[in-house]
Amino acid sequence: MDLTTLQYGLGVASGSVIGFVLALAGGGGSILAVPLMLYLVGVTNPHVAIGTSAFAVAVNAATGLLSHARARTVRWRCGLPFAASGVAGAVAGSTLGKAFNGAQLVVFFGFLMLGVAGLMLARSRLVTASASEAPAGGRLLRLCSLGAGSGSVAGFFGIGGGFLIVPGLVTATGMPILEAVGTSLIAVLAFGLTTAANYALSGFVDWPLAASFIAGGVVGCASGSALARRLSTRPGLLEVLLALLIAFVAIVMISKSFS
């Protein structure tokens, strides 16, 4: 896909927005990547937008995973089976997504965004006890089941899926929320790479555009982190604002699809 220099510049700007939102409000921001590619950058093929955003999200997840690993907030023995079980789901989901008409995918994506916004508004703070490092018995089964489901959704829509993965890890293991966030990045990385590889096989990844998103995300994360520290006294406010933004973008996407 041939894009202009201006469009790649808009890709950098869009990546900065995603990085800024993610650093400022946590999970949920990456779901804005596809709408930004479609309506700001001007990508005309929804499949290219999904495949490209999947790779960009995976690289951002890898960066975050390294940071959490250094802080020892990653439960590898829980995250690895969760991610491994979800890879097959991501393959199935991304294969199914490629089979759908692009316009249909945009509508589905819009309704998904509405669902995510609703979950973010309704979600209460998760307070849990620490869990053991090694999953066993029923816990392992829950991890694998939730991983497969999360991977399928992430693969179909080309998203990170953190809004599903974090609650899934907490439900299956009882780990503290901070460790669930760090551990979730293993799955986000695995699902993103799997989805991007599947879409790339069909020529649905614009690698230079993905690079521009990633470069912009680095800048956005730095500025968002600084502001997040200043606004840390208002817990929950940023999540509500992000949920409202996601809902607004979703309504725009759906209305454009039916206009």
| Boundaries of domain holding 109 | 5-258
> What's the pLDDT score for residue 246?
84
Q: Residue 90: what pLDDT?
A: 94
Q: Domain tally for the chain?
A: 1
pLDDT at residue 126, as a whole number: 46
Segments in the chain below pLDDT 50: 124-132, 134
Helices 46-70 and 102-122: crossing angle, nearest 10°? 40
pTM summary value:
0.81
Please report the pLDDT score of residue 127 as a whole number.
43
Write the pLDDT tens digit of every residue in 94-116.
Answer: 999 999 988 888 899 999 889 88
**H helices present in 100-176, as ranges:** 102-122, 138-157, 162-173
CA–CA gap between residue 50 and residue 90 (Å, rounded): 13
The pLDDT value recorded for residue 125 is 47
Helices (H) and strands (E) in the chain, counts: 10, 0
- Residues making up the chain, counted from first to last: 259
- pLDDT for position 228: 57
pLDDT digits (tens, 9 = 90+) for 201-236: 999 999 999 999 999 887 887 676 566 556 555 656
pLDDT at residue 143 in the model: 87
State the angle between helix axes of 162-173 and 102-122 in degrees (0 to 180), rounded to the nearest 10.
Answer: 50
DSSP 3-state of 193? helix
